[in-house]
Structure 1
Amino acid sequence: MTLIGWAQIALVVAAILAVAIPLGRYIAAVASGRVGWLRPVETLMYRAGGIDPQQGQGWRLYAISMLAVNAAGFLLLYLILRLQGMLPLNPRGFEGLSPWLAFNTAVSFVSNTNWQAYSGEAAISYFAQMAGLAVQNFLSASTGIALALAVSRAFARGGVSDLGNFWADFTRVTLYVLLPMATVVGLAFVAMGVPQTFADYASATTLEGAAQTIPLGPAAFQIAIKHLGTNGGGFFGVNSLHPFEGPSALATALQIWSQAVIPFALCLTFGRIVGDLRQGRALMLVMLGFVLVATLAIYAAEASGNPIMAALGVDPAQGNLEGKDVRFGLALASLFTATTTGASCGAVNAMFSSFTPLGGLVPMFLIQLGEVLPGGVGSGLYGILIFALLAVFVAGLMVGRTPEYLGKKIQAREIKLAMLAVLVLPATILGFTAVSLVLPQAVASLAHAGPHGLSEMLYAYTSASGNNGSAFGGLTADTPWLNTTLGIAMLLGRFAYVVPVMAIAGSLAAKVKSPEGPGTLPTHGPLFAGLLAGVILILGGLQFLPSLALGPLAEHFVMLAGQTF
């Protein structure tokens, strides 16, 4: 670890927070309909869809609308991927994907996971990238933010049944937040050297005289929304580690900024919607604390290096540079890894399979904690609010008082639904991992044996269920079993989680807000922040520590004994 490395981390984090503050205020204004510089376009879209943006929706209708648009998006993307060989803008003549891979990929992008069991430059046409994958990058992100706004209104309102209008929220977020930000960031990437072209791949001759094909394509704007929407699906197979996706340290810093700024800003949006900025700041500080601690843990683990390599004469002061871009070093790789797995993004600029065992444990654990640190756009906010309800419930048990959060009584119905949502991840991750590790056809996909092989499989279902999309590496995922089960895990992680969350929102919106009393737990101070962080850690630790002990923790001790896998 170096002073320059810490300075890089500090500058990027400062840039994230500097923009998150005004962005949170702006998104709150968008949510209330006060932003209208694209009002003619917005109105036209409402008329085309027969939508009355002023008509409120209860939680059921809001959830059904959300499921309908995502079902339509899945079907459209599936057809594009299957038929891309007959569609335009396909200079390489790629054929349609297999049914299994098309299903997995369509589910992946609709659920904001962007798990990729293919290499983009070798399988996906320009048309499918733009009209299929990029469109879903926008729509899945808009879905998450819309749901977060609906949940926020449930805490702000009392004695009502409606949570807003999904179609209005969905349209406004796309028009006023994601499209403008993606345009600016996309142009910045073009200026930094990221390709944005319809030209065919380039041919070149290497210094050794060999022929080389250099993949190109309309990459810059796809990369912009992949980070801003915490989608993560790379245009190229190795994602942000590809020199065309991450051409410079500045481009890497911009990617880190892009994948974290909206999740942090939404905490402040929540504070403005409920009329108490302190509530949003408390949530944001908990998220930020976890990101910084995770960055420190990854940086320390990778800087300490691998003792086996040191015994072979590699300078231990260099740390573990395997699988990382040496132009950026360990600092930006550590911050990128912490934010991408904490933010449900899934983009990578380093190969996790090459991390030290403890360095690889941290991103896996961040996802297993519920993708709330800071989580995906929208999903991070409503996810941490579920943990906030559990935290006040635990506090209520300690003092023998009915728990409250923002003036709403938290009762049996809300806690049962909260636990239903929280249990989706461990049931899906551990269930599918356990079954896959005893099936010969699934075990055959592993590249490594021992605890490292267990980590490969565990990470795959962790990433899918957590809607992250990053991969540990080494797993041959393009098989019928993995394509299908990982696709099911993505669906459960996204939609089986959000339906009980919306039911909680409907229940809370109907409750009349009660004023704070002398026994009310303040939920904006350090005491509550610490309790919230503890609940997140305890739930994650109790559910996943045994599997982590058999995987990365066991591998760490085996590494110290001089054995690798």
Structure 2
Amino acid sequence: MVQLILTILIYLIMVIPVGIYVYHIAAGKHTFADPVFDHVDNVIYKVSGIKKDKGMNWKTYAIALLATNGVMILLGYIILRIQSIPLFNPNGIGNMEESLSFNTIISFMTNTNLQHYSGESGLSYLSQMLVITFMMFVSAASGYAACIAFIRGLAGKTKDNVGNFFVDLVRITTRVLIPFSIVGGLLLVWQGVPQNFSGNVVVDTIEGAKQIIAMGPVAALEIIKHLGTNGGGFLGANSSTPIENPTIISNLIELYSMMILPGACVITFGKMVRDRKKAQQAENGELAEATTLRTRRSFTAWMYGREGRSIFAAMGIIFLIGLGVCFWSESQGNPALQEIGVSQSMGSMEGKEVRFGIAQSAMFTTTTTSFTTGTVNNMHDTLTPLGGMIPLLHMMLNVVFGGKGVGLMNMIMYAILAVFICGLMIGRTPEYLGKKIEGREMKLTALCIIIHPFLILSFSALAIALVNVLPDNNGLTNPGFHGLSQVLYEYSSSAANNGSGFEGLADNTMFWNITAGLAMFFGRYLSIVIQLAIAGSLMKKRFVSESVGTLHTDTASFAVILVFVVYIFAALTFFPVLALGPIAEHLTLWA
């Protein structure tokens, strides 16, 4: 418990300055790094023909994002299909098969990084760098750019300008992802993570056998996979292997890397909305009040912004509940082993690394599926039923911080739903951030929220229905309750753009590659387009004055309302299938 509390406290201390830094980048304000990065950015703009002062409306922004990602999908697919060429390929890796190439390129361009292959045997160093590592930067930057545009739309300083996608893509890459990756990568090298172009090393073990030790540019991929909430491992065993994650210090570096930017996006949101409110106060002749806003508020309200604080609190509550359940469940051990006299004093250690133990394994598990990263330092398929239900549930919710700003955007969908429900209770038109929520916004919000469970449940139903029909679809290694959990996890991970898996599922077949690829594609791009449309709709509306009937969305009570709305929606959509999977497995195991 002390480990978990200290880990969270250190994170809260770290996330505030990073959030303020990201806010300055998103809002176009001065930062200490401008003298260096302005020159770098201007060179990129000049070479690429980017007009940095040209704004875009939400439609143009969405088209630019989709087109850019589409071109990179095509180029990446080609590289995977010809990776056998003798260029950065000392291990002689062959070309990747068609359906697997489709799944892999969709996976990495949508920031999912679901791997139906083992990295050390499925990819050449050329593919690891030009496809995997490169797309980890671009896909993460694309997601953060969409989140920043979404925030600009909600802040509503203009009627039709959410920024320039190409400028946002460049600034996030050069000012956040690259410098943070250089620092984090060097720290990982310091801890023993390899960074070279050597071929694999064959060594003699203590038992006298031969073992192949993978080499390559591991540290470079390792840091961006966490920082960009990507998750795909250089090795098949991911961050549970000592090559990717050798020490408890490297474990903490990777843990904080995947937590820092999603949390920073919430702070950025709060501060940008606060700026808009201050500007409104100044326009309304309340300049004195606006200028003293910082001194009159509490420290947390100033650092996070009031709106950001309530969103952050709601996410934090759900995260802590999930972490507590996962830690408790794994600490209970396995009753089947207890019955035959196997000691479970350390809890359920199956599939976990001794150097991390229960606490850091539960923390990593909850974090990687809350922040939709997908990296693992233990095998999720061997978690206890309730311990495995938490990562599954958090991917189904897809609002607990999330990766690349996704959690924030999805949580705001629930915030809009919450103010609508509360408005119905008192017979008042709902408002959010000073704008009326009307029919168009509610239809788009409902559509955005329902897409995620629809993808998960429909593809899972299809897989279960065809399990004994298609010759290559019998990937279930557990026919009972756990088999259903494996299928649910596969499509929850795909639709949430997470990438982790219950690896007992034999998923490298035509059926799994195509269906998971489609779930990843639609789960990523449909949501982004709809959310940008909502932001574009709200930014054109006039601000309405607050009254005694206005529901304040910057309070602790609204954070609690938001948590209940999220859990109620989850219960209505996912409880039946969870009851047939992990809950039934838990009841059977402990019967």
Which segment drifts farther, 287-296 or 337-346?
287-296
Counterpart amino acid of 1:547? V
Name the SS of the counterpart of 1:94 in structure 2: coil
* Inter-partner Cα distance in structure 1 for 2:86 and 2:183: 29
Could you tell me how far 1:458 is from its partner in structure 2? 1.0
Given candidates 275, 278, 293, the residue that maps to 2:306 is 278
Tell me, yes or no, if structure 1 residue 459 matches structure 2 residue 489. yes
Given candidates 396, 402, 406, the residue that maps to 2:423 is 396
1:18-37 alignment runs, 5 A limit: 18-33=13-28, 34-35=30-31, 36=34, 37=36
* Inter-partner Cα distance in structure 1 for 2:5 and 2:196: 35
1:283-325 deviation line (CA, Å, top 9, x unaligned): 1111122111111100100101111110111223221000000
Tell me, yes or no, if structure 1 residue 297 matches structure 2 residue 292. no
Could you tell me how far 1:32 is from its partner in structure 2? 2.5
Q: Which residue of 2 aligns with 1:3?
A: none
* Inter-partner Cα distance in structure 1 for 2:362 and 2:211: 32
Gaps of 5+ in 2: 276-304
Contact 2:77 2:105 in 1 (8 A): yes
* Inter-partner Cα distance in structure 2 for 1:87 and 1:131: 15
Q: Which residue of 1 aligns with 2:338?
A: 310
Q: Which residue of 2 aligns with 1:177?
A: 176
Name the SS of the counterpart of 2:465 in structure 1: coil
1:96-495 alignment runs, 5 A limit: 96-157=95-156, 160-275=159-274, 277-369=305-397, 371-439=398-466, 440=468, 441=470, 443-495=473-525
* Inter-partner Cα distance in structure 1 for 2:63 and 2:47: 20
Name the SS of the counterpart of 1:423 in structure 2: helix
* Inter-partner Cα distance in structure 2 for 1:451 and 1:539: 23
Name the SS of the counterpart of 1:363 in structure 2: helix
1:104-141 deviation line (CA, Å, top 9, x unaligned): 00000000100000000011111111111011101111
Q: Which residue of 2 aligns with 1:544?
A: 574
* Inter-partner Cα distance in structure 2 for 1:98 and 1:196: 28
* Inter-partner Cα distance in structure 1 for 2:59 and 2:94: 40
Contact 1:158 1:510 in 2 (8 A): no
Counterpart amino acid of 2:456? I
Q: Which residue of 2 aligns with 1:15?
A: 10
Contact 1:157 1:513 in 2 (8 A): no
Q: Which residue of 2 aligns with 1:68?
A: 67
- Identical amino acids, percent of aligned pairs: 43
* Inter-partner Cα distance in structure 1 for 2:137 and 2:446: 30
Could you tell me how far 1:68 is from its partner in structure 2? 0.9
Name the SS of the counterpart of 2:274 in structure 1: coil
Counterpart amino acid of 1:78? Y
Contact 2:274 2:306 in 1 (8 A): no
Name the SS of the counterpart of 2:212 in structure 1: strand
* Inter-partner Cα distance in structure 1 for 2:190 and 2:545: 53
Regions of 4+ moved over 4 Å: none
| Residues 1:51 and 1:464: Cα distance change in structure 2 (over 3 Å) | same
**TM-score, scaled relative to structure 1:** 0.97
Name the SS of the counterpart of 1:373 in structure 2: coil
* Inter-partner Cα distance in structure 1 for 2:404 and 2:317: 18
Contact 1:163 1:509 in 2 (8 A): no
Q: Which residue of 1 aligns with 2:539?
A: 509
* Inter-partner Cα distance in structure 2 for 1:506 and 1:274: 16
Contact 1:429 1:461 in 2 (8 A): yes
| Residues 1:159 and 1:197: Cα distance change in structure 2 (over 3 Å) | closer
Contact 1:17 1:261 in 2 (8 A): no
Contact 2:20 2:268 in 1 (8 A): yes
Counterpart amino acid of 2:236? G
Name the SS of the counterpart of 1:86 in structure 2: coil
Which segment drifts farther, 59-68 or 442-451?
442-451
1:298-355 deviation line (CA, Å, top 9, x unaligned): 0100101111110111223221000000111000001101110011100011111111
Name the SS of the counterpart of 2:345 in structure 1: helix
Q: Which residue of 1 aligns with 2:286?
A: none
Which segment drifts farther, 315-324 or 88-97?
315-324
Gaps of 5+ in 1: 1-5
Could you tell me how far 1:85 is from its partner in structure 2? 0.6
* Inter-partner Cα distance in structure 1 for 2:556 and 2:424: 19
Contact 1:159 1:511 in 2 (8 A): no
Contact 1:321 1:330 in 2 (8 A): yes
Contact 1:446 1:453 in 2 (8 A): yes
Counterpart amino acid of 2:547? G
Could you tell me how far 1:158 is from its partner in structure 2? 5.0
Contact 2:395 2:492 in 1 (8 A): yes
Contact 1:159 1:512 in 2 (8 A): no
Name the SS of the counterpart of 1:127 in structure 2: helix
Contact 1:336 1:349 in 2 (8 A): yes
Name the SS of the counterpart of 1:203 in structure 2: strand
* Inter-partner Cα distance in structure 1 for 2:143 and 2:453: 21
Q: Which residue of 1 aligns with 2:562?
A: 532
Name the SS of the counterpart of 1:437 in structure 2: helix
Which segment drifts farther, 274-283 or 31-40?
31-40
> CA-atom RMSD, angstroms?
1.1
Tell me, yes or no, if structure 1 residue 52 matches structure 2 residue 69. no
* Inter-partner Cα distance in structure 1 for 2:258 and 2:191: 18
* Inter-partner Cα distance in structure 2 for 1:159 and 1:512: 11
Contact 2:57 2:161 in 1 (8 A): yes
Could you tell me how far 1:515 is from its partner in structure 2? 2.6
* Inter-partner Cα distance in structure 2 for 1:243 and 1:282: 39
Counterpart amino acid of 1:50? G
Could you tell me how far 1:144 is from its partner in structure 2? 1.1
* Inter-partner Cα distance in structure 2 for 1:161 and 1:202: 57
**TM-score, scaled relative to structure 2:** 0.92
Name the SS of the counterpart of 2:543 in structure 1: coil
Counterpart amino acid of 2:23? A
Counterpart amino acid of 2:502? F
Counterpart amino acid of 2:455? T
* Inter-partner Cα distance in structure 2 for 1:55 and 1:76: 27
Contact 1:145 1:377 in 2 (8 A): yes
1:345-366 deviation line (CA, Å, top 9, x unaligned): 0001111111111111111000
Aligned length: 555
Contact 1:158 1:513 in 2 (8 A): no
* Inter-partner Cα distance in structure 1 for 2:270 and 2:154: 10
Contact 1:87 1:127 in 2 (8 A): no
